[in-house]
Every structure is written in C-alpha cells, then in structure tokens.
Chain A
Amino acid sequence: MPIVSRGFHGRKPDPGRKLPPGQYETFDFPVLSAGPTPRVSRDDWTFTVTTESGTRHQWDWGRLMALPAEHPTVDLHCVTKWSKFDTHWEGVSLDVLLEDVETEAEFALVHSYGGYTTNLPLEDLLDGKAWIAYRYDGEELAAEHGGPARLLVPHLYLWKSAKWVSGIQLMLEDEPGFWESAGYHEYGDPWREQRYQGD
C-alpha cells in the first residue's frame, strides 16, 4: 500500500456526484496529448469517412457547419483518473454524418491530424452516443483540446474521444489504435474500469 501524505488532497471530490471506480473529480480541464498540437485551419480541415469497400464521404468545414448541431452536456472520464462533470459541447451527431453511409462494418478506426488513432465498435458511434464537436463551453474549440474539431464519445475513457479528428475508417475487422496497441484496453468503459488490456 502506498504511504498516505497527510494533508495532501490532490483534487477535492464532490460527494454529491457518482464517479466511476478509481476516478477523482477535477474542475479544470487538463491537457494531455501524445505529441505536438497540430495546427489545422478551418479552411484546410476535412473529415473523411472511408468504408470497407473504399468509398469515401468527405465534409469540409462549411459542409459540417451546414449540418444540424446538437448541444450535449456530458461527463468526461480520463484514464489518468480525472473526471469532469457537466461539460457543454456543440457538434454534429455521428448519426447524421453516417446516415447515408452504406457499410457492413462493425468496427471503426478513428484518425487524427498528427497521426493519432483510436479504435472502437461502430455501434458506439451511433444512437446519440458520439459527436464531432467543434465548440466547448460556448467557445470555439481550442487547439489544445482538439480544435478545430474532435470526436466526443463520453461513455468511453477520453482517449477514445480523438482530438484533431480527420476521419473514420470503417472496417470488418478490429484494429488497435495508438494506445490500444500499447497496453490500453480495447474498449475502455470507465464504469467497468477497463483501463488496460486484461482489465
């Protein structure tokens, strides 16, 4: 057992809210990334869905803005053990973006500017569970938090909510992403504390 340092509180918990196991509430918004922050202008930004047959569906910034926006308020859970309640986002539901995409795929590999990837079952992107988010707390999404746009999949650990999202590859077979190939859990459900492979 680790030694407790008396008087060290780290992050103060809010007893009124239910946290997933092993998580601690934070009130700031920690910045974590696996590399330098990509600088992508909205003029250059595109988002591409590629199906298992190679069919591509692409949106530029203007086309994304023309789609109906939603305003989800969600809780975030990071594998580094912080959780943040009631975060306010604006973005387009993946249900809208995938509506006209013909696919038999069961898996998705999400790609980001800068080379990051993460994998998840396609069904976890559907039914109102995931967004391409471009505003946070009423402001344009800052680059360090994934702007111009990031994936938001709040029911999974936050490494699945890829920052600087550039596309989604739909696949018949699962393929591990950046962290999933280095020990992180392939699914990452915070309520089942699926942090690492084997959890």
Chain B
Amino acid sequence: MARAAVSGRLAARLRWQAAALVERREESPTARTLVFDLPGWAGHLPGQHVDVRLTAEDGYSTQRSYSIASAPDADRVELTVQRVPDGEVSPYLADDLRVGDAVEIRGPVGGWFVWRPEQAEPVLLVAGGSGVVPLMSMIRVRDMIGSRVPFRLLYSVRDPADRLYGPELDRGAPGLDTTWVYTRGTPDGWTRPAGRLTPDDLVRWGWPADFEPTCYVCGPTGFVEAAAGMLVALGHHPDRIRTERFGPSGG
C-alpha cells in the first residue's frame, strides 16, 4: 500500500518537531502554501492536521492547527495559510516566515475527518472558502494511489480571485467532478448566478443519498452548519456526513 495509507504511528506519543520552511507558493492574493521539511515524517491520512507552535525570542509562545494540503511525501508537508487581517499567527506565516526559518510542528493528528483509501463508496466533498484545504489532500491522495473511487467536489468561494488550487482543479482528474459555486462574483459567462450554496446545487452536482456517499464538509461554522443541514434534509444519513469547522483561533 502506498505511504498514504500509513497512519504515521501506532504507539508512539507525538512530540513537537522542528520544521524548516523550504518553499512558499502564492495560492490567492491572501493565501500561501508553505512547504516544510520534516525529517522522518511517517506519512499522514488525507484530512489530518498538524499543530504549529511559534515561539518568540522572549519566550512568548502560541499554537494553531492547520490542515495538511498535500499528499504524503517523504520529509515534506504542505500547509495552506489564509492571512487573517490583524491575526497573530497567519500574517507571520503567510508573509514573514522566510525560507530556512523554523517552526515547531506536532502531528499528524485527527482520525475522524479523514478519507481512507480503502473506503470504496463514492465521496462528496463540500468546501467553503479555505475549507478546501483538507479536501485537496484527499483529492491528491486519490490521484497519487490511482484510486477509482468517484469524487465530487462542490467548492464555494466569494469570487474567482478567492479560488485556491484553481489550475490544479481545472486540470481535474478522471472520476473527479468539480463544481464551483460563486457567492459574490462569477467569471464572465457563468450560468449559475452568484449566490450561496443551495440544496439544488447539492442535488445537481452532488450524489443522490441512495448512493450512500461519505460526505466531507469543511468551511466556516455557518457554511458547515448550512451545508450539513441540507445534506441531512436530502436524505443523507448523519453518520455519513463528516464536518470540520473553522474556529476562532485568533488567526
């Protein structure tokens, strides 16, 4: 089995580990993907996250959780950071951390909001804004291992400039259908008017409940509550809906 199926650990307790930034990529005007070097990284399941700890010279320290965006890759982990204005951590990570600088990382952690490659059922991914990050890891792992499990992604963003991973999603992959939902402004000639995700979107571009897909919903709290509620109303069993909400981390 590919490294993607390795959960990373069985019995060892996790420790904080130094991780140096090796590359930074711009994903949108406000989001950056950070590539960290993590020697001995044992792999992760798509959907898992890491805790990132920053310590200042005077000893002040704070930590945040970030979803992993990448598929497992020896000694490399990619996070995508959305800059929050006046945030304490995200502006530093997005703009100030320089290649070669180190943070501390603990992970991978989380065993609930994950896709395991041995799952055979269809998958519905519903993303609001930067909630696409852990779902992108699922898409990338599916691609990496050559899985034939059908994936559908509904990705809600304000306008085209807010798209993360746009070129990669536009290239697509066999068995992956991506539908963009624009809430404020659409590209020219777009047939769906700008507006929030509706039950009709989920009927047209998602899976029928009869197919018993596993649904992964990630985004801001209001988006997740609304989307999960619509899926239940459309007949999806709550046990097959997995959610991850953005929290008030202080950025």
Partner-B contacts on A (CB < 8 A)? 2-11, 13, 22, 24, 30, 81
Contact = CB atoms under 8 A, between A and B. Distances in A.
A5 B54 contact: yes
A110 B103 CA distance: 41
B56 A3 contact: no
14 contacts: A2-B53, A2-B55, A5-B97, A7-B92, A7-B97, A7-B98, A8-B96, A9-B60, A10-B54, A10-B60, A10-B88, A11-B88, A22-B59, A24-B58
Closest 4 CB pairs of A and B: A10-B60, A2-B55, A10-B56, A3-B18
B53 A30 contact: no
Interface of B: 16, 18, 53-62, 88, 92, 96-98, 101-104, 250
A13 B98 contact: no
A4 B56 contact: yes
B101 A5 contact: yes
Contacts of B98: 6-7
Contacts of A22: 59
Contacts of A30: 250
Contact of A5 (B58, B102, B250): B102
A11 B103 contact: no
Interface of A is mostly: loop
Given A6-B102, A9-B60, 13 more contacts: A2-B16, A2-B55, A2-B61, A3-B102, A4-B55, A7-B96, A7-B97, A7-B98, A8-B56, A10-B60, A13-B58, A24-B60, A30-B250
A49 B58 CA distance: 43
Nearest to A82: B60
A24 B62 CA distance: 12
Contacts of B102: 3, 5-6
B97 A81 contact: no
B165 to A, nearest CB: 26
A2 B104 contact: yes
B22 to A, nearest CB: 15
A18 B243 CA distance: 45
Contacts of B18: 3
Given A8-B92, A10-B88, A30-B250, A81 B60 contact: yes
Nearest to B92: A8
Contacts of A5: 54-56, 92, 97, 101-103
A3 B60 contact: no
A90 B75 CA distance: 56
B60 A11 contact: yes
Nearest to B17: A3
Nearest to B103: A5
Nearest to B53: A2
A10 B60 CA distance: 7
Nearest to B62: A10
Nearest to A24: B60
Nearest to A5: B54
A3 B52 CA distance: 12
B97 A3 contact: no
Nearest to B61: A2
A125 to B, nearest CB: 31
B5 to A, nearest CB: 30
Contacts of B92: 5, 7-8
A120 to B, nearest CB: 28
A11 B54 CA distance: 12
Contacts of A3: 18, 55, 102-104
